[in-house]
Amino acid sequence: MAAPITFNTALPVAKEEFLFRQQFINMQSGDDPSGAQRDRSENMSATTLAYGINNRLALFGVLPYRDIDLSMDMGSGKVSRSNSGLGDISVFARYIFQQNNQAGRTLRLAAFAGLKAPTGEDEASDSIGTLPPPLQLGSGSWDAFGGLVVTRQTLDYQLDAQLSYRINNEANHFEAGNVLRLDASLQKRIWPRELGSGVPGFVYAVLELNATSQEKNALNGTNDNNSGGTRILLAPGLQYVTRRWIAETSVQFPVSQNLNGTALELDTIARAGIRFNF
């Protein structure tokens, strides 16, 4: 069973079974229209554990470890600042409320909702002073999110689409803009070409599209006109799928970025991961 790499699926976690997923993510942003030569990079390890309550309801928890670096020209020269540690944990429930099973194919529609808790450090500082929000490990706020996801699976391919919304709240006089997101994924089996017995696993080519629209951030109740906007990312990838585990990799890159003011543009997001069912 293949699955999206950059978002969730509507396929179930088996009753009374666990799903463990480990992803390693590198995010690079260095196209700075402000002239300050800002360059931000982040390496993140995201650990996900899910449990199937029954064949429709599953619970998920996601805990990231973040290592962030930011360099920029402060006028008197280039300065580098960094931060690392555990980030904010997210927990959510997903319920499959519609399913249509036929021979060799299935259609599932699910809803999910959850909270992000402020478990990461959100007031870290260095020799210069308090780190800016893009360098903090956590937001300091309780944030809510939810959405819908649909999955169409056949023996040859799988299609997934997700619509979600995240409400970000204020903490430490800063409030990140709310985020509307639309995702789509196609996973196509490329090996073996013909199904048969004795095949240990399957190779899928993956192509995903991720579109986000974020409102402006606010500082001390005033909108930051150099934040927020829309992005459309394209993510080709590969998956090796067996009965109990999946290995996967993909690279997201922008095909469109319409950001406000001098907001820092994204370069790439590279992912590699593995997931187990047990």
pTM: 0.94
- For residue 149, the model assigns a pLDDT of 98
- For residue 216, the model assigns a pLDDT of 98
- Report the range of poorest mean pLDDT among 11-20, 146-155, 190-199: 190-199
Model confidence at 74, in pLDDT bands (50, 70, 90)?
confident
Query: Quick check: helix, strand or coil at residue 173?
Result: coil
Q: How far is CA 270 from CA 48, 179, 251, in A?
A: 18, 21, 4
Model confidence at 75, in pLDDT bands (50, 70, 90)?
confident
- For residue 1, the model assigns a pLDDT of 74
Residue 190 in any domain: the answer is yes
Residue 85 in any domain: the answer is yes
User: Would you mind telling me the total number of residues written for the chain in this entry?
Assistant: 278
How do residues 125-162 score in pLDDT, each as one tens digit?
999 999 999 999 999 999 999 999 999 999 999 999 99
Model confidence at 22, in pLDDT bands (50, 70, 90)?
very high
- For residue 138, the model assigns a pLDDT of 98
Model confidence at 21, in pLDDT bands (50, 70, 90)?
very high
In the chain, which ranges are E strands?
Answer: 18-29, 39-52, 57-73, 78-86, 89-102, 105-117, 143-154, 157-167, 174-175, 179-191, 202-214, 218-219, 222-223, 229-241, 245-259, 268-277
Q: Specify the number of domains making up the chain.
A: 1
- Measured from the Cβ of residue 29, the count of other Cβ atoms closer than 10 Å reads 19
Model confidence at 262, in pLDDT bands (50, 70, 90)?
very high
How do residues 80-107 score in pLDDT, each as one tens digit?
999 999 999 999 999 999 999 998 899 9
Q: Answer yes or no: is pLDDT of 196 > 80.
A: no
- For residue 200, the model assigns a pLDDT of 86
Residue 160 in any domain: the answer is yes
- For residue 209, the model assigns a pLDDT of 98
Which residues contact residue 92 at a Cβ distance below 8 angstroms, ignoring those fewer than 6 apart? 59, 60, 112, 113, 114, 115, 145, 146
d(CA 175, CA 10): 31
For residue 193, what are the domain limits? 18-277
Q: Return the structure tokens found at 178.
A: 């709310």
Q: How far is CA 230 from CA 167, 204, 236, 254, 255, in A?
A: 16, 29, 20, 11, 11
Phi, psi of 94 (to 5 degrees): -130, 130
- For residue 25, the model assigns a pLDDT of 98
Residue 187 in any domain: the answer is yes
Q: What mean pLDDT do residues 238-250 have?
A: 96
Model confidence at 195, in pLDDT bands (50, 70, 90)?
confident
Strand order in the sheet with 218-219: 174-175, 218-219, 222-223
Residue 153 in any domain: the answer is yes
Whether the link from the prior residue into 33 is cis, omega within 30° of 0, is no
Question: β-pairing, 57-73 with 39-52?
Answer: antiparallel
Q: What is the dihedral of CA 204, 183, 60, 69, to 10 degrees?
A: 90
Residue 63 in any domain: the answer is yes
Which residues contact residue 169 at a Cβ distance below 8 angstroms, ignoring those fewer than 6 apart? 141, 142, 143, 175
Residue 7 in any domain: the answer is no
Query: Quick check: helix, strand or coil at residue 133?
Result: helix
- For residue 104, the model assigns a pLDDT of 86
Residue 106 in any domain: the answer is yes
Average pLDDT of the chain to the nearest whole number: 95
**Residue 97 backbone zone (phi > 0: left; psi -120 to 50: alpha; other: beta):** alpha
How do residues 25-59 score in pLDDT, each as one tens digit?
999 998 888 888 999 999 999 999 999 999 999 99
Which of 140, 102, 113, 143 lies closest to 124, judged by CA? Answer: 140
156: domain CATH number is 2.40.128.130
Q: How far is CA 110 from CA 30, 105, 124, 259, in A?
A: 37, 17, 38, 31
